[in-house]
Structure 1
Amino acid sequence: MPAKHDQSRKHQIVIGVLAMTVVFGLDIAGGLQRLEWMTFDWRSQMLRTPVSAPEDIAVILIDETSINAMNPIVGRWPWPRSVHADVIDYLALGQPRAVLFDILFTENERQDGQSAEVTSPPDQRLIDASREAGVVIHAMQVFRDTADDTNSALLDRPLPDGLPRLATADASAVLRGDHASGNNNYYLPFPGLYQAAAGLGVVNTEPDADGVYRRIKLLHGYRQAIFPALGIAPLPGIRARSSESGGAQYRIGDTDVPVDTDGRYLINHYGRVNTWSMSGVLASAQQLRAGDVEHLLIDPREFHDKIVFIGASAAGLEDLKTTPLGSSVPGVLLHAGVAANLLAGDVLWPVARSVNALLIIALTVFTVAGILKQKRLWLQLAVPLVLGLVYAGVGIAAFQLNLVLQMTAPLLAIIVGSALCFLYLVFTEGRDKRRVRTMLAQYVSPAMLNAVVERYADHLDAEVGSEEDLSILFSDIRGFTHLSESLPARTVVEILNYYFSNMTEVIFSHDGTIDKFIGDAIMAFWGAPVHDDAHADKALRAALGMHQRMATVNRWLRERSLPEIEIGIGIHSGNVILGNIGSEQKLDYTIIGDNVNLASRLEGLTKQYGMPIVISENLRKRLRDPLACYVVDMVRVKGKQEPICIYAPILDHDGAAADRLAQLSQLAFAHYMQQDWDQAIALYASLPADVLKQTFAQRCQTYKQTPPPADWDGVHTLAGK
């Protein structure tokens, strides 16, 4: 048994290591990344769609309504810069915390053939409005460009003086380290505008490989300068430091912000954001200029102390993105989402790679050990299903707490581990079960065979031996040796086959296991291979059934003019050694031990006492449903020192009559043990059991004439079987 367990443990280790190798290999190679993104999107859709962004984030959208409303007034997009200046002036009345444009104003607006170097009145209007408001942050871009004949002069240009930027030593160190960008080009607001701005924010966004925008870079380096992404530009106190778990960790205000090794932050998207149409803002500004203060469509006080983002949502302006929450999402919402996350402390924390690796290892171990430990198929199937559901639930619950667990690789570990386990079981346990099924088919009923194969096949290996409490039955045809000598061999075989078939049917119907046929004898037992606490009752009921079935057997014999037969049955309960004993060429599922021999001895006593069935006191004590029995004798069988009391079920009476005979038998035997010979003879004479009463009448007469010795204990010692 230890060798088998050691081998099984080795197999578990091999399967687990192989499963982890497959999963870690795919994960490291990036083969699971798209699936992981999909699981992130599903979690976001499930949990973030109903979530609203904080009230202090506002978004003004240049939507189709705005484009259509302004078309008759100022023409098609792009609008004159003065329109944006009007918006700034109107918003400034409400004293917002910041106004951020997700619109690039990189060149001067030309009017009537003016040079691009000349600041036009609309440009100047935007400059003045931005400066006067004091809270306007304009868009810029920094990026890496490929050199060609048209742009080589633009690459690696120095930045102009007076440019708002971040300049922190720790952030610079991070940018020069793990996620240095190598940017060599930029687009800035036109001269004059960036000087008037309260700050600049980078609006570069890049999708993941599947085209979905999930992450955004928070800091962008160009030469020695660092610029914040638009979403964090209005936030104070930006600091950056390296993280022990990989990537970096920024601290923006009072919020710690994790980023990956490329400096990208995983956005915690919102399904609902406070938005206004630009057309409403412009109409309200027009109302205010007209003096209609009472009926403003949008009161500027709506934006008090809010961070206001301005961007496009009209399809024609080509700033629609696909995010985890859906397609056609205005790009400005990416920046607004970042600001909302940091203001509310609503930051997603991807779990460290080491933790994900431990989860993969743990789930693989639990899957492999759990499946290979179970013997029932439904339990084997339940292990990966339950583990998968539990881990999926943990992943969802963690996401609600803003922890992002890796889902694909751990779940794949369960799948791969399960697949390898079932392949292993098909080629090993399946083979063993087929061997066991073939071997046990001759011992037990089909129903029990299925139960044994599914639940107990591991106990049937040749090297396994266990001590079990069982009930053992022996039956024998009385005088069959003489009968067989008087009949043709063919007839003898025919009789035995018919007899054994009937007895086997009875034994199987009572969940018995046929150990073997020994000539005309049957050896059977109960309580194994399927454990059964009622084994004594089932063994006795089987014996009664065998006795009753003899009427069918004898009727069959009479129809063929063959002599009738009688059987004797002995049953005993006790501990035996159970095992699949034999050689590699031939195995027998059998029991051995003193209690097996005792059961055989009891069968031999049936003829001596004239009882069809003799049972031991051990079996009688185990009966859950006691049966009225004669007290047969107290005997010491050959090979045993301890005496046993034996009984015989009362077969020809039932109910009250059987109980009366049982009491009478017990009383008669008690007088016998007390050496009250005359009273014992009288009581035995009233019993219908002829052989029993004759046996004890003869003993009592003998003891009356020749009293037993003083140490007589009433035990009858048997010389033979």
Structure 2
Amino acid sequence: MKSRSLGLAVATGVLGAVASLLPGVLRLEENIGLDWLFLQRGPQAQPAEVAVVAIDSDSSEALDLHPDPARWSRSLHAELITRLVAAGAAVIAFDLSFDAPREGTQDAELAEAVGRAGNVLLLERLSMDELQLDGGAALVQVEQRTPPIERLERAALATAPFPLPVVPIKVSQFWVFGRAEDDVPTLPAVAVHAYARPVHEELIARIDVARPGAGERLLSVHSHPDPGALVRMMNALRTLFRSDPTLARELLSDLDTTTEPITGVTVAGWRPLLTALVGMLGGDDSRYLDYYGSARAVMTLSYHEVIADGWDSAASSLDGRVVFVGFSEPSAIDQQDTFYTPFSQSTGTNLSGVEIGATAVANMLQMRSVRPLSIPAHLSLVLVWGAALAALLLWLPVSLGLITAAVAGPAYLGVAHLQFDATGLWLPVIVPVLIQLPAAALLAVTLRYAGARAHGEQVGRTLRRYLPSWVTEDASRADGVGASTRVLYGTCLVTDADQYTALSERMSPEALHRLLNDYYAVLFREVERRGGFVADVVGDSMVAVWTSPTPDPAGHEAACTAALAILSSVEEFNAVEDRPDLPTRVGLHAGKVLLGDVGAGSHFEYRAVGDIVNTASRLQGLNKRLGTRALVSTTALRGTPDLAVRPLGRFLLAGKGASLDLNELRGLESSSAQAGELIGRFASALAAFVAQDWDRAEREFEALLERFPDDGPSHFYLVRCREFIASDPGPDWDGTISIEEK
């Protein structure tokens, strides 16, 4: 009995450890456990470091402006900046996009106000490029940063992105520095760095003391106050702290004991400010938000209140604050650009993006955040708690054990609440109270009421089989589709075999199967030799991809040389006697690509998804019209100077919004004088065609065809010349050839 009790005690601890590692349980801890801790703690004191100027419907009505704030005059924003500066705002951060110019003097007035203020941060808009699964369900969104118009970008103290979801979901964390390989500081982080400008030189001096020589390098960046200098300084500091993980701890330890500044900085509260700056620069890329409460928990002024003629800037309480300007509505009915928080359900209102930004800044300046336990500490806690709880319940009589279980849960929750309230420490709630406690009670009751030894052993074995199985199934469901999904830069190669349809009609399935296997063995070999992988095969078409985290000329070259090798190998393949020919065409394009699970129900496939796959397929098909065998976009040729190509002009493919510069892939450096002649004379004829010199272009293409009668692109453009001679495309035509058929 003692050995069994010990084993079950350990099993309860292990159960908690295993459950704590499951994605589904982790989501429950965040969405239920953390929310419960926030609600028990309740609203916090309004942070004195930040404020929000809310662009809302009340302001639209009060100022008689268009209901869509995006259409408001930028001159009004210029006036707002002037008033905020007069009120003493330390930093002004606009959570608004200014990436398109306006008519009249609006942009000039806003740029002048921004430059005159010297403390204005502007938003870099994140555009979302959706990559979709079959059926149209959006799987992932790729972000692209677009800065404000050049005039405003030059005038601003800095520009930065503020990554938030594009759909109203729950937000528990914020980015300090950018996601994945993009380490760009975000708008809240730049706001903190700008707010801490009075202590920048003190920070550099202390770094130089801790790491002699490092301060001098930082001063070289700090001493150039041109546009972008603030972000460059942040990046230099971030690089230093990342490369030297102990530096932040040393500086923070020194600040705990120091009383005098090195540089003679006189700003009040310089030590807490410098501590917050070091904590941000040396901390994690992302952090959990420590919410102060529901909507409007941060000091909020309506836009029209600040713009009003009678507004008293001296009494506004904005002096020394970071002021965020953006969309924010007090009413749940009018809310847009909002996100669920732990307080949403109880109040019926969500938090706006601009309030999340202000909350993030206040968190960093106050050195407060929700601090989850480290993984080792988390696992140790649930192991010890589970084992101790189970041992106690197994040792006590059943009735007393059940009373203990009834008390243990609330006691643990009380300790978790006190720790969260006092220090922001986030102790796990779901696993200890809702998984381990019921499991321990169940084990205790089961053992106590087991009649016979054999029956008790069977119950124990059944429980040990059941619980791990249940946990495993839950983990499988929680993991779900897309767990291994990645968005990368890729070069895509698509092939297609001509005459396949005719072959499939006259060959038996068995013979066609053997032919295709032999054919694909040739293609796969050339792809794998050059580091690519085959992402999809459908009938006679293959999709291969070369991926890297960032654009990589080596991937471009590998894909192009693989295409050339495929064409050469297929020629040898087709030369075998009594084997049907499979003439092959190739298309190549490069860009963002998603690799992940595609499917539903019980069937999934790992595939490449994205526009580059579709575009490469279109290029492969365009070979038919141009009489070529390998077409490659200029994007997929970057960094491949040794490849011999023939530029074929700009094309707008069917269904596409942007045109592409296309090239015929001909080989490595051309050793044939004849090939060089063809490329040179074709370039001259194409230049005449683009210049709308139709007669000259017609003559040159005709001459080319006399010299090279089988040249498909020359045939194609000669036909186009004659079409345009008959019907001129007009002076606005830019040389782009529109392809209507897919």
Rg (Cα) greater in structure: 1
TM-score by length of 2: 0.45
TM-score by length of 1: 0.46
Higher helix share: 2
Instruction: State the structure with bigger RCO (CA 8 A, min sep 6), 1 or 2.
Output: 2
